[in-house]
Amino acid sequence: MTGLRFDLRDPPHGAAALRAELRAFIAEHEHRWTPEVRARSWMGFDRDFTRAVGARGWIGMCWPKQYGGAERSFLERNIVLEELLAAGAPVGAHWIGDRQSGPLILRLGTDAQRAKFLPGIARGDLAFCIGLSEPDSGSDLASLRTRADRTDTGWLLNGRKIWTTFGHLCDWMIALVRTSPAPEGGSRHQGLSQVLVDLRAPGVTIRPIRDLVGEEGFNEITFDDVRLPPDALVGTEGAGWAQATSELAFERSGPDRYMSSHPLLEAGMAALRDDPATAPALGREVARLWTLRAMSTAIAGMLQDGADPVRQAALVKDLGNDFEQALPGAMRALRDVDDMPEPMRRMHAYLTQITPTFSLRGGTREIMRGIIARELGLR
């Protein structure tokens, strides 16, 4: 067995000063956030707040300065993510661009693509979404049917994506599509490519999907003869599967995979601070949080070193989802809902409804455990 090490990392130089700067910034904005906004956290979409974050240099902060970045480390970026999530800040307008789309374009895009998109993401002006899931594919992503066919002027896109987070609010999508048939008897992963899609282009139809709490964060997006320019291709034609799965290490390892319920934990600690009988149970929750944090920080260090920690990221996501999904029940076991302070009760009510979805986004539990099992030699 190889590849499942999590080497502990020391805080980067200047970590305390960066945290202090972030907390002062958050204090200027948090009075506008209701308990529901804080509970929603990185699933909250607020362009104005995102632009304020961008103005401080905290979006794309590991990217080269020539593309709008700040040339800081992954470990410093992790501090920014932790502080924003701990406060329940509405960061959804830049989360995907900062976490996945921007790094992908920086790593595999052309110079023209980097110059066109990265500064806009870093300012908070361009919001990206990811086009992976399709209505008839389920978790079998390699069976996707959306196609981009070459034409004399570029590409012609047809097909449908679903469960696209904030597709109705975003400007661009990076979609995984088929650009050539899978070879007969060969892997279905061959012939897939990633393309940039302007979500306001003719032929793009976006239909929001109302979820069980009455919100419309997910979408079904249909492409009918959408004409893409020749430079819509990201990376290498036919290598989209490897590119997309590598990109998922950024998605599955960050603090957002174990801190989605964090504002409720903080509210619970404040409400229960004078009840010593609850201290052991609260201590166990904090210990789980701290372990996940050490694992996630170790992965940030691996990314800083240029490694590709796909398997470690799958483990953090699986364990992290367990933690954040169980937290509302853990708080309810310590304090009756009717006795919770109002902000805590409202956060608890919202999170109780949405926590079942946490293990679906970014790959289901079955997918994560399949990746881990392969590493352990069990499949």
Q: With beta carbons less than 8 A apart as the criterion, state whether 304 and 238 touch.
A: no
Residues 6 or more apart from 27 whose CB is under 8 A from it?
none
Q: With beta carbons less than 8 A apart as the criterion, state whether 176 and 164 touch.
A: no
- Alpha-helical (H) ranges within the chain are 15-29, 35-40, 47-55, 74-87, 92-96, 102-108, 111-123, 240-252, 262-271, 279-304, 310-334, 342-354, 365-375
Indicate which residues carry an active-site annotation. Answer: 251
Task: Give the Cα separation of 77 and 153 in Å (integer).
Answer: 40
Task: Give the Cα separation of 337 and 335 in Å (integer).
Answer: 6
Q: With beta carbons less than 8 A apart as the criterion, state whether 309 and 302 touch.
A: yes
Q: With beta carbons less than 8 A apart as the criterion, state whether 67 and 122 touch.
A: yes
What letter represents residue 55's amino acid? A
